[in-house]
Amino acid sequence: MTDRDSAADATANDRGDGLSYAAAGVDIDAGERAVELFAPHAKRASRPEVMGGLGGFSGLFALKGNYREPVLAAASDGVGTKLAIAQAMNKHDTVGRDLVAMCVDDLVVCGAEPLFLQDYVAVGKVVPETVAQIVAGIADGCVDAGCALLGGETAEHPGLMDEDHYDLSATAVGVVEADSILSPERVRPGDVVIAMGSSGLHSNGYSLARKVLLEWGHMDLAGHVEEFGRSLGEELLEPTRIYARDCLAVAAEADVRTFAHVTGGGLAENLARVIPAGLVAEIERETWTPAPVFALIAQRGRVAREEMERTFNMGVGMVAVVAPEDTERAQAVLTARHVDNWVLGSIKRAAEPKNPDLPRVALSGEHPRF
């Protein structure tokens, strides 16, 4: 971020005066102030394997432990247009949790333990207090996930982004033993599909939610919604649940074949990614009632069920496919960890096992009271 624009330099020389980076819209002092504010948050999101501290050009992490054949796993993601809600409400301390969740909950699908995360915060104008709130949320999420916030980057983009806008992305890295990698190849007929309840919309479908509720419905983010027991904005900013440690706890106690993180594409499309050819996951809608926020969007926008199920998690944030004999054990672990869970359905042989075009997930029935 130290390159200078040659055309601007020539103009400055013709005038006999000079320009500065700050005059061009990049305030290095504000960036340094932001680092001072968020440094304590970054430090509390650590692990013993972290080497060095803030200020280096790269983060260092010593892969310690009695690994036999460690395999590194990596996942990158962002928060999407949920950020528009945070920016409209001027509340920036929760979206960092969303950022962590979207990365580490992808990692754990293969059984990987999250080790560290690196973030990238792009802003139109550095407001140190805002950046500190964002990083505080990221640190909170890393603590919840058990991983270190190893480092990151804050970049100021004047002229490209509005001053009060920002975008977030991150990459998380985890580790799993080669012979413990969870994959579709482990799934068998008779396996049981267990749902883990979501905390709301999580971080997907916000373009549709905003269109329906704010643009078409003219709802006020600060307005109280009786069905939610809080304001619309508070409901929409509910952080994505971080399941990483919960999933690892289940995998340590039960025979888990695989997990599926329910994000964009909904339950059917994400679960299908971990179901091998020749099998089908039969899911029963009557086993759960989606939260009121999903009903509100469907009703206000007259959104068809198929579109709702392709866009939103509909109340299921993570899925575990487990051996049938370990169903109760897996549920007991989740319940002890205060994770809402229930049996969604089971794995069956497909009607035409050699037909690769058949759906690998079949939803049936109706949601109660939806």
pLDDT of residue 54: 67
How confident is residue 355, by pLDDT bands cut at 50, 70 and 90? confident
pLDDT of residue 15: 47
Pairing label, strands 279-284, 361-364:
parallel
349 pLDDT exceeds 60? yes
Euclidean distance between CA atoms 332 and 326, whole angstroms = 10
pLDDT of residue 33: 65
Q: Across residues 45-53, what is the average pLDDT?
A: 80
Do 311 and 205 contact (CB within 8 A), yes or no?
yes
Q: Across residues 111-122, what is the average pLDDT?
A: 96
Q: Across residues 36-52, what is the average pLDDT?
A: 75
**Interval 2-28: pLDDT, tens:** 232 333 333 334 445 677 667 767 777
Tell me if residue 186 falls in helix, strand or coil. helix
67: its two tokens: 């690994």
CB burial string 156-194: b at 16+ within 10 A, e below: bbbeebeeeebbbbbbbbbbbeeeeebebebbeeebbbb
Q: How many residues are listed for the chain in this entry?
A: 370
pLDDT of residue 248: 98
pLDDT of residue 353: 79
**Beta strands, E only, the chain:** 50-51, 60-61, 70-78, 113-123, 148-156, 166-177, 192-197, 224-225, 230-231, 256-261, 279-284, 316-322, 341-349, 361-364
354 pLDDT exceeds 90? no
Q: Which residue has the higher pLDDT, 53 or 191?
A: 191
**Interval 292-331: pLDDT, tens:** 999 999 999 999 999 999 999 999 999 999 999 999 999 9
Helix-, strand-, coil-residue percentages of the chain, each rounded to 5? 40, 25, 40
**Interval 200-255: pLDDT, tens:** 999 999 999 999 999 999 999 999 999 999 999 999 999 999 999 999 999 999 99
**Interval 125-169: pLDDT, tens:** 988 899 999 999 999 999 999 999 998 889 999 999 999 999 999
Q: Which residue has the higher pLDDT, 274 or 7?
A: 274
Euclidean distance between CA atoms 197 and 302, whole angstroms = 24
Q: Supply the DSSP symbol for 240.
A: P
Q: In this prediction, what percent of the chain has a pLDDT beyond 90?
A: 76
55 pLDDT exceeds 70? no
pLDDT of residue 219: 97
pLDDT of residue 34: 58
**Interval 68-104: pLDDT, tens:** 999 999 999 999 999 999 999 999 999 999 999 999 9
pLDDT of residue 199: 97
- Nearby residues of 261 by Cβ (< 8 Å), 6 or more positions away: 105, 106, 108, 109, 243, 270, 317, 318
- Nearby residues of 44 by Cβ (< 8 Å), 6 or more positions away: 139, 143
pLDDT of residue 41: 63
Pick from 20, 4, 5, 25: nearest CA to 156: 25
46 pLDDT exceeds 60? yes
Q: Across residues 351-365, what is the average pLDDT?
A: 88
How confident is residue 35, by pLDDT bands cut at 50, 70 and 90? low
